[in-house]
Amino acid sequence: MAVKRGEGRPLVALDELLARERADLEPAHALTADRIYERRWALTLLDQVFARLGEEYRKAGNAALFDQLKQLLTGEPEERSQAEIAQELRMTENAVTQAFHRLRQRYRQLVREEIAHTVAVPGDVDDELRHFIAVLQM
């Protein structure tokens, strides 16, 4: 009969088992629902900016350049140097540096425009931009 009941293994208290199950259901982070919402808003806004920027580069026939420079802007793990990008795209390193500078300027402008669409009063853009940056740094 002991074989049927666990062969002499130690018993686990029901309270302990329930506590473990409850712990498994708890969120793995301490973010509140408001912070999760704000974070998703910020990431969605960035996606919209990258989509607009990518579309602008594609229309200008520079899709490959955008794809390479985007990696520098986002700091993706496979980040390559501007010299490597220049070599691959058959451009000078100076031309890639200038293109990256223009991309960053346009990126900033588009972020500002997207944030301007989310505020009621144009004077609130700077405050909302600071909040946007703070949300991304969480």
Q: Which residue has the higher pLDDT, 33 or 23?
A: 33
Give residue 18's pLDDT band: very low, low, confident or very high (50, 70, 90). Answer: low
Structure confidence at residue 33 (pLDDT): 83
Structure confidence at residue 71 (pLDDT): 84
Q: Would you say 49 and 114 are in contact if contact means Cβ atoms under 8 Å apart?
A: yes
Q: How far apart are CA 84 and CA 68, in angstroms?
A: 10
Q: Measured between alpha carbons, how far is residue 59 from residues 49, 84, 114, 117, 137 in Å?
A: 15, 24, 20, 24, 32
Q: Rounded to the nearest 10 degrees, how much is the dihedral formed by the CA atoms of 110, 116, 117, 118? A: 120
**What residues contact residue 93 under an 8 Å CB cut-off, 6+ apart?**
82, 83, 86
Domain boundaries along the sequence of the chain: 33-137
pTM: 0.70
Q: Where are the alpha helices (DSSP H) in 1-138?
A: 14-25, 33-59, 63-74, 82-89, 93-116, 125-137
Residue type, 34: D
Structure confidence at residue 138 (pLDDT): 75
Token code pair at residue 43: 């990431």
Please report the sign of the dihedral spanned by the C-alpha atoms of residue 34, residue 36, residue 38, residue 41.
negative
pLDDT digits (tens, 9 = 90+) for 29-71: 667 888 888 989 999 999 999 999 999 999 999 999 999 898 8
